[in-house]
Structure 1
């Protein structure tokens, strides 16, 4: 029963971790889309047009807005590339451990579980660092003169959402990142329990096998003694018959 609970908990945690990684990926893209502006590249992920049918900007002001949009999205591009690459890598490795580790308790190897524990602990720590770096980088970009000029231009036309505060998408990236870190740490703890369970199972199996070999050996010795006694009895009977 304990083995079954540990294996089930490991599988559930891995599935939830993959889901949270995908949510981080979605939030990274959504955050970049929400601040991209009128016609600017989403860090190499395509283009976004806030209002293709009508533009409140004209002439030199429109050109300035486009240049600022392009500069701003290019400055945020490392967040997009880093967030997408990191979340996809974490989700892929978690999926690998989920598939490879989906075995009965008697087929699991401690080497695989040790690797899984190391990955879970590393992912937990790196996710915290990645969230801190992501928010720090976003804050630095938002404090630049490019962001402030862009904010003023959009505010003149009533677009107050294009401000230099931390956006909801960025906050969601940080939130789901912290959740992922907690999940990976919980997975590390469960993995340690799984190692202990597998080792206990292996010791029990080895003990049972040793006991079985001992019983077989005892029966063999007893059979040998019985055959020896039967042989001696036959010899004695034969000797008596000869004397008679």
Structure 2
């Protein structure tokens, strides 16, 4: 269940980059109280600056989309896989077929090892996006109007998704050890007479 929760958290944190174009195109579109609270919602932009801000936001959003989609896919796949393993455990498959626990151990090891290059790729791609001239131009444009929070550095959701990925790698490694331990326990119980472990 911890693995499924981590997969869900990775999915949620990754969806932040996917779901919002952000910046100049984001807050005004909300309208209502946000529009008036921000005094016309970024009213400092007008004319060519406003058009350029919208273009930069759209291009920046498109640059981050592949990373967001990949990390959402990883988070969703981890969540679905671990929920499937929980279901198979509830159906007592490991008891009927103890070799399943060895297969689960191998799968957990592969996932733990596979998350390491995935995390490297994730952060490398994000750094590439944030180091791009487009991001620098966008940052300077917003700073020229006094708006903060558009810096070309890792944001909270980016960091959180990476941290949850690191924790997931550790949890999968621990789960592999527990699967081996479970295999030994099941084999030992199956070798005992039936009345020794029946309630």
| TM-score (norm. length: structure 2) | 0.84
Larger radius of gyration: 1
In the TM superposition, what is the alpha-carbon distance from 1:32 to its structure 2 partner? 4.9
Structure 1 counterpart of 2:77? 89
- 167, 171, 177: which is aligned to 2:159? 171
Does residue 25 (structure 1) correspond to residue 11 (structure 2)? The answer is yes
Over 3 Å counting, the alpha-carbon distance change for 1:96 and 1:199 in structure 2 is same
Structure 1 runs, 4 residues or longer, greater than 4 Å off: 31-35, 103-106
In the TM superposition, what is the alpha-carbon distance from 1:94 to its structure 2 partner? 0.6
User: Unpaired runs of 5+ in structure 2?
Assistant: 30-34
Over 3 Å counting, the alpha-carbon distance change for 1:62 and 1:105 in structure 2 is closer
User: Unpaired runs of 5+ in structure 1?
Assistant: 1-14, 40-48, 209-244
Does residue 198 (structure 1) correspond to residue 175 (structure 2)? The answer is no
* CA-atom RMSD in angstroms: 2.1
Matches within 5 A, 1:105-144: 107-144=95-132
Does residue 183 (structure 1) correspond to residue 171 (structure 2)? The answer is yes
Structure with greater contact order relative to length (CA < 8 Å, sep ≥ 6)? 2
Secondary structure in structure 2 of the residue aligned to 1:166? coil
Alpha-carbon displacement from aligned partner over 1:177-205 (angstroms, at most 9, x marks no partner): 11111111111000010111112222334
Matches within 5 A, 1:47-58: 49-52=26-29, 53=35, 54=40, 55=42, 56-58=44-46
- Which stretch of structure 1 is more off in the superposition, 78-87 or 24-33? 24-33
| TM-score (norm. length: structure 1) | 0.70
